[in-house]
Structure 1
Amino acid sequence: MSLKTVLSRASDLEHVEESELRKPPLDVVAFSVAVTRKLRNWKKTTLADFARVSLSTVERVERGEAVSDEALDRIAQAFGQEPGHYTAPRVTIPREQAEAEVSETYGKLWPLEVARFTTQAQVREAARCCAHLMHAPNLPEAYEADVESLREYLDLVSFCLAEQSDGIPMSDTARRPLYDHTLAAVKELERRSVTVLIGYLDAPQPKIPDWRVCIVSLTSRLTDPGAPKRKMMFIDKRVVAIENMNMGLDD
């Protein structure tokens, strides 16, 4: 079901006063659950297992059929949301405002192809980017030191290759240990059940048409089991703008 279809069907619901509290329409819940699940590359059975509900319950939710509030709360928690995310009554808003809010949330997302971070070629490509950002929104603080270690090695490789481009030669023998140390930092995170994905985003900026950013995604396999098979993710293009580069993606 497309977003346009959801908004159209929602507009056909019976009229209610804008100040009236109302639960989210089933069509909207169905769309949100299905999109969130697919973006995580989860099978329906994976969501059912994490939410501790039956497969048939997930299927009914994604068809827009009614299920218990308890089941919807469990699904919300499986996605890292608070109970009530799909069930709590809220003030209704006009369709035009809903469209504007959805556009604000999703209209600035860019698709990014990603792959497991495993090769020296990926390290070299990351080093050639204008900047790199670590995307670890739900990673526990216990991994902070390992993430920072990976960040520092990427910075070091980028610096060394930049020096080489400025006329200071650097032999393959000197570069390889840097690549190896970078990949060792990745392997340590993987050993601790963190999936590390990497992608490169061309994000032209005013006066810098070749602005390119390396995105490193880090997610725990305990909470995101679909990550190892993920081939695509979405990045807010405002975050990779030059003026916002100090924001990072892990806030």
Structure 2
Amino acid sequence: MQMEPQDRLVRAEAFSPDERAAVYRVIETRRDVRDQFLPTPLPDDVIARLLAAAHSAPSVGFMQPWNFIVVRDEDRRRKVFEAFQRANEEAALMFEGAARDTYRSLKLEGIRKAPVSLCITCDPTRAGKVVLGRTHNPRMDAFSTVCAVQNLWLAARAEGVGVGWVSIFHEQDVKAVLGIPDHIEIIAWLCLGYVDQLYVEPELAVRGWRQRVPLDELVFADAWGIKQGA
């Protein structure tokens, strides 16, 4: 006998103080790892848990538009690193003066140092042409996939696994290496591996690239530009 929707409900209880503190600690201490990866292999069961966390992300219309390509092959990773290097030099030339020097000083070696890479993609055709919740914002499938990235990132922090998000490449270069169809969008190339140290603040803040904007400068009340308490 099929269960009715109301029979599938459970109590929405708050977490215990310790559980709640753990969730906020994961959020606050998550970092983008660029160079500090250890060569220790990631066990298959850890990767499976991280992928399960990603697959548990919310998605508009429950379309679940993501795919996950686990890349361990050295030759493919080398080719992606070469694509990154080409794009990274293009990026460096977009900055001037001290900013260019600082950019070039960043160690972006995750693709080569991390034992595993993960390419997360978005399939806009997964649920057909008309998708509940995407009718007026066609980018909701990509936004949903980003939720999967964040789920995996937070789960990785809880597992002691570092994650680095590589975004500096021409998409077609990586598609060619991995055989990704034209209609599929690459959302993230993630480098995964154990780390024994993390920055206490985001690395770009530590290195003086940018500082965190105070939250109260970003929160408005009821309409754009109205400060709370004004």
Give the TM-score, by structure 1 length.
0.24
Higher RCO (C-alpha 8 Å, min separation 6): 2
User: Which has the larger helix fraction?
Assistant: 1
Give the TM-score, by structure 2 length.
0.26
Mark the structure with the bigger radius of gyration: 1
